[in-house]
Structure formats: structure tokens, C-alpha cells
Amino acid sequence: MTAEKPSKKAAKRAVGIAAAVGVLTCAAIGYAVYENTAIQLARYEIASQALPESLAGLRICHLSDIHVKPEPRDYGPLIKAAASTEPDLITVSGDLVDSRVSDISAAVSLMETLAQIAPVYYVTGNHEERLPPEIYAEVLKSLEDAGVHLLRDSSELFVMDGVAVNIMGVCDRKYPDFDLIRSLEQDGLFNLLISHRPQFAKEYAEAGADLTVCGHAHGGQARIPFIGGLIAPDQMFFPEFYQGVHEFSGRYTVISRGIGNSLIPVRVNNRPEVVLIEIKR
Ligand SMILES: [Fe+2]
């Protein structure tokens, strides 16, 4: 038996290390793609005395921050997940299109499809609000033509089995106009508010919204086990309001972790999510 030459041994070791690095890189890429694209369904059940008895079990599919970009993305799984919630209505809390986008056709076609599942109620996010005026106008016109209910500092009644829910929606601004929100509320009805920014979760409830749905925080971008979200716009590091259900004396704010990405292109332990809110009495 002859001993292996040192140069042959070193070459074998180099090949082994290269193969291991290759496998780990592929696994990391696969994990990153999965984390950033595989839709997760979050189901929340809340109980509200403000909901009329006959509407108990109302199902709201909530979507946010889809951030449709020029690069093609398959929205089939998103549509499938939204349909699987069997919603009575769908809420979209802004940043449907990314502010760097000029072709909005994919966003419009997605919303057109969602509007065939259930009535869709939409408000703008900070990304739409900073679009060039001509694209901003095109977004609003196209969504309206697609059958989407645009809520622009306004409210609409959603009627089911003859009973109404007051759906209020505000255009995105740095600080919400709470006097405006109060003026949109209707006594005796369940008041649902759609607003982009989640950091005012408590103030929305204090202003009288029975349920508010938001987004904007992108789930804190990376969720650290036992700690929570890492960073969110306006709230910076370790934000308080980045996901989930927040209760304030029987009123609620539900925050979606969103579907897409914006300036920070990567999600970690923070898959895109479709939210189902079921309201009981
Ligand atoms: Fe966003």
C-alpha cells in the first residue's frame, strides 16, 4: 500500500470544501427564495360587541404592501390563498404598486381578479402617494375601472343580508387626520377602518374604529425569535407594531406583514402573508 501524495490530498480536500460551499449556497438561496415568496395564511379571530348579531362570522381577507414591481411575479399563489379564505370582503391597505414602477398593468390585473372573489376596498400607501401625478391618476382610474372600491378619506356601506358595515378608508399621510376619521364613523354600525400606517394602532381605536387594518411595517423585515421584528419604517429598530392583532378595550388593529418588499429586498423568518380576520360577537 502506498501513501497518497500530499498534493493529491490537498486537491481532494479543496474539491470537498468547494462542494460543501456549493451545497450550502444552494440551500441558502432556496431558503431565501422560499422566505420571500411562499405565501403564509394567518387566521385571526376577534370578538366585538359592535358587530350586529346577524353579521357574526364576518370574514375579511386583508392584504397589504404587495409592491408590484416591473419584474414579473406569479401572483397565482396569492390569488389562491385569498380565495381559500372565502372572504365576504377584501381590504388592501396600500403600497399595491412600488413608487419606482411606471407599468401598473400587473397590479391592476391582480386587483381585477381579486374583485371577482369578493368586493375589494383599497386605500393608498406612502408608495402610491409619492408616484408621479400622471401615474397616480392612472392607478386610481384603472382600479376604479377594475371594480375596486377606492376609499379616499371617505366611507362606504358594505351591506350583507340587509345589514350594513361602515367601511372607512384614509389616504396615506405621515400623521393620520383623526378628526376626519371621527367624522366618517357612524353610530350604531360596525366601523371598519383601512389605513396604511400601523404605528397609530391605539389612536385608531381611541378615535372609535372597531377594527382597523394596516400594513407598512413589512413584519419588521426580519423576525428574531423571542424578540420580534427587527426594523420598520417610521418605527425603526424593534418596532412595537409590525404584525398581528392588537386589542385596545374591545377594539382591534390588525397588521399584515405584507406580501412584497421595498427598499430592503429580503425577508427573514417573515414570509409574505395573507390575513383572514373572522369577527365573532
Ligand atoms: Fe410597503
Take residue 35 and report the three cell numbers written for it: 422566505
CA of 25 to the centre of ligand 1 (A): 29
C-alpha pair distances (Å), 243 with each of 202, 229, 246, 276: 14, 8, 9, 13
CA distance 96 to 258: 10
In the predicted model, what is the mean pLDDT of residues 246-250? 97
| Whether pLDDT at 73 is above 90 | no
CA of 54 to the centre of ligand 1 (A): 35
SS (H, E, C) 183-228: HHCCCCCEEEEECCCHHHHHHHHHCCCCEEEECCCHHHCEEECCCE
CA-nearest of 183, 195, 204 to 246 is: 204
Assess contact for 110 and 92: CB atoms under 8 A: no
Take residue 80 and report the three cell numbers written for it: 389562491
Percent with pLDDT over 70 in the chain: 99
Percent with pLDDT over 90 in the chain: 82
CA distance 23 to 18: 9
Which residues lie below 8 Å from residue 185, measured CB to CB, with a gap of 6+?
166, 168, 191, 207, 208, 209
CA distance 131 to 127: 7
Assess contact for 73 and 261: CB atoms under 8 A: no
Assess contact for 275 and 232: CB atoms under 8 A: no
pLDDT at residue number 248:
98
Higher pLDDT, 22 or 67: 67
Assess contact for 143 and 105: CB atoms under 8 A: no
CA of 157 to the centre of ligand 1 (A): 27
Q: How are strands ordered across the β-sheet holding 251-255?
A: 154-160, 163-169, 190-194, 211-214, 251-255, 244-248
CA of 119 to the centre of ligand 1 (A): 22
In the predicted model, what is the mean pLDDT of residues 167-186? 98
| pLDDT tens track for 212-229 | 999 999 999 999 999 999
CA of 67 to the centre of ligand 1 (A): 7
pLDDT at residue number 198:
98
CA of 185 to the centre of ligand 1 (A): 26
| pLDDT tens track for 37-60 | 899 999 999 999 999 999 999 999
CA of 262 to the centre of ligand 1 (A): 6
CA of 183 to the centre of ligand 1 (A): 27
| Whether pLDDT at 2 is above 60 | no
Q: Using 50, 70 and 90 to split pLDDT, how confident is the model at 4?
A: low
| Whether pLDDT at 204 is above 80 | yes
The 3-state DSSP class for residue 249 equals coil
Take residue 49 and report the three cell numbers written for it: 360587541
Take residue 166 and report the three cell numbers written for it: 361602515
CA distance 224 to 231: 11
- Confidence (pTM): 0.92
Take residue 145 and report the three cell numbers written for it: 375601472
Assess contact for 117 and 83: CB atoms under 8 A: yes
Take residue 74 and report the three cell numbers written for it: 406569479
CA of 218 to the centre of ligand 1 (A): 6
Which residues lie below 8 Å from residue 269, measured CB to CB, with a gap of 6+?
35, 222, 223, 224, 225
CA of 55 to the centre of ligand 1 (A): 31
CA of 206 to the centre of ligand 1 (A): 25
Q: Other C-beta atoms within 10 Å of 10: how many? A: 10
CA distance 124 to 139: 10
pLDDT at residue number 178:
98
| Whether pLDDT at 17 is above 90 | no
CA of 60 to the centre of ligand 1 (A): 20
